[in-house]
Amino acid sequence: MSTLEHLLAGNKAWAQNIKQSDPQFFEKLAGIQTPEYLWIGCSDSRITPATSIGLLPGEMFVHRNVANLVNHSDMNCLSVMQFAVDVLNVKHVIVCGHYSCGGVMAALDNTRLGLIDNWLRHIQDIIHKHENVLNAAPDYNSRLDKLCEINVIEQVVSVGETTIVRDAWDRGQDLTVHGWIYTIADGIYRDLGVSIDSLADLDAMRNSTFENRNITIA
Ligand code: CO
């Protein structure tokens, strides 16, 4: 049987390293969890959400799935969101996609990969909804970039439309939903400028032609 000793050794070195700079770090961490941020991002192995934005363990609650989707029948994502908003009282939900997303690409190319095709079907609905803008893209790469961005924005709207976030806004809770996109090639996150923190913002976003914004950066 092949073992994972190298990973356990790596873990020991990591914990030792942190303890050297802050001997009480793990004891303090074990006491309470008070993150201000909920991250909803892609499962892509090249992205390390908390560390790549300079956060320490304990500072961000994280949910990840293929292509960072927020579906209203996904009990996993909804449960994470409900716990984060109602119990942990996070102040920010960051929906983060990335360029060159394999899930978004498979949906765009209509590639058959198996069970996951059903999950990615949600992106194909987005493709149909924004067909005109996507077809107007000059080439395949810019169409894919645009779809990665539009997918994030659609998920920001989707987060805002959950009962969890609507109820939080109804009771006056301070909660902002943000849409970011990551470029793997330079390690930089960009804010897509679609933050919403109220039902009015959500309505405005839903009724806007956001896909026409010139937001393609990569
Ligand atoms: Co991805």
Q: Are strands 188-191 and 176-183 parallel, antiparallel or unpaired?
A: antiparallel
Catalytic, 6? Answer no
Full-model pTM: 0.94
pLDDT tens string for the chain (218 positions)? 999 999 999 999 999 999 999 999 999 999 888 999 999 999 999 999 999 999 999 999 999 999 999 999 999 999 999 999 999 999 999 999 999 999 999 999 999 999 999 999 999 999 999 999 999 999 999 999 999 999 999 999 999 999 999 999 999 999 999 999 999 999 999 999 999 999 999 999 888 876 656 565 44
Catalytic, 44? Answer yes
Query: Among residues 92, 101, 148, 178, which one is catalytic?
Result: 101
The answer to whether 106 touches 120, Cβ cutoff 8 Å, is yes
Per-domain residue ranges of the chain: 35-212
Q: Collect contacts of 17-23 with beta carbons under 8 A, ≥24 apart.
A: none
Residue 66 CA to ligand 1 centre (angstroms): 6
For domain 35-212, which architecture applies? 3-Layer(aba) Sandwich (3.40)
Catalytic, 92? Answer no
